[in-house]
Amino acid sequence: MKPRKLKDPVTPTDPGFYKELIDQMSDGVYFVDRERRIHYWNEGACRLTGYSSEELTGRYCQDNILCHVDEQGRKLCIDGCPLLASIEDGSTHEARLFLRHKQGRRVPVLVQVQPLRTADGAIAGAIEIFRDDSAQYEARRKLEAMKRLAFLDHLTQMPNRRFLEMSLRTAMNEYQVHKDAFGVLMIDLDEFKAINDSFGHSFGDYALQQAGRTLTGTLRPTDVVGRWGGDEFLAIVYNVKSENLAELARRCAVLMGQTSVLDAEDRRVSLSISVGAALVRPGDTCEALIERADELMYKSRTVGRGRSEAG
């Protein structure tokens, strides 16, 4: 979105001046009253969430439209809302959350909330400022490089199997020389055939795209995640111990369980994944590591949808 020019004439004493300034911010900004009813929604918020000002103004935070969740999948709009906390205690609150974009994917955001006070000091509401926390600039740079080197999956615009295999060999070599521990996550989209059969292959492709974007936002910027093939994704997770790897696998499963996509009739279709997490061991080959992660993924699937298994 190109920066908009300030309307002319505009002066600092004109209320429209400040609205224009806030609308030009890349961060999302919105105001709520004490009942958490939204009174203002800037253009940055529109870009980051996909929702227009007309769709959100007048709605309530507790309507759970953005479905804010933390890393454990707790629905913060209902329990643990930073806006409500600022209104109640008059303090600033900061958090790293995951909002649900209008298209269904999960977007990691950094949130700062401050109370809004009247002239006599009474709390009248709160303001939230939030920004994308998915290292977009670095992601775009990597994306262009992968396009040039044919390392990009055409459908999901994520690293393809060729790039993942190359990255895995590099990580294995580093481990054998320097003992830099790493792990892999084998990730399978649950009941993908049923999604294709019920909604069509175009919708299935869209579901894969949104699942991939959620995984990219869930994992750390230093990790590599891409499409392994079909409805499978693979993540290479660096500098981890077994407990860190298990937690990342669980986080992926939980946040994908909070992800849904809209069908042609604007009905939400929930997604879930099965995850197998394997930590590299002495004597491992790339093939052995992948096979172990694959077995763990199938083991998690036998328990039910949206599960992870680490080993």
pLDDT < 50 positions in the chain? 1-13
- 279 with 297: CB under 8 angstroms? no
CA dist 293 and 252 (Å) reads: 15
pLDDT of residue 6: 39
For residue 274, list its beta bridge partners. Answer: 188
Residue 202: φ, ψ to 5°: -65, -40
Residue among 71, 72, 74, 67 nearest 51 (CA): 67
Q: Looking at residue 145, what is its pLDDT?
A: 73
- Tens of pLDDT, residues 240-275: 999 999 999 999 999 999 999 988 888 889 999 999
Report pLDDT for 136: 63
The predicted pLDDT at position 192 comes to: 94
Predicted confidence at residue 16, as pLDDT, reads 57
Domains of the chain: 15-132 (3.30.450.20), 136-310 (3.30.70.270)
Q: Is 74 exposed, middle or buried (0-12, 13-18, 19+ CB in 10 A)?
A: middle
pLDDT, residue 26, reads 83
What one-character DSSP code corresponds to residue 37? B
Per-residue burial over 113-150, b if 16 or more Cβ lie within 10 Å, else e, is bbbbeeeeeebebbbbbbbbbbbeeeeeebbeebeeee
pLDDT reported for residue 4: 41
Q: Rounded CA gap, 284 and 68, in Å?
A: 40
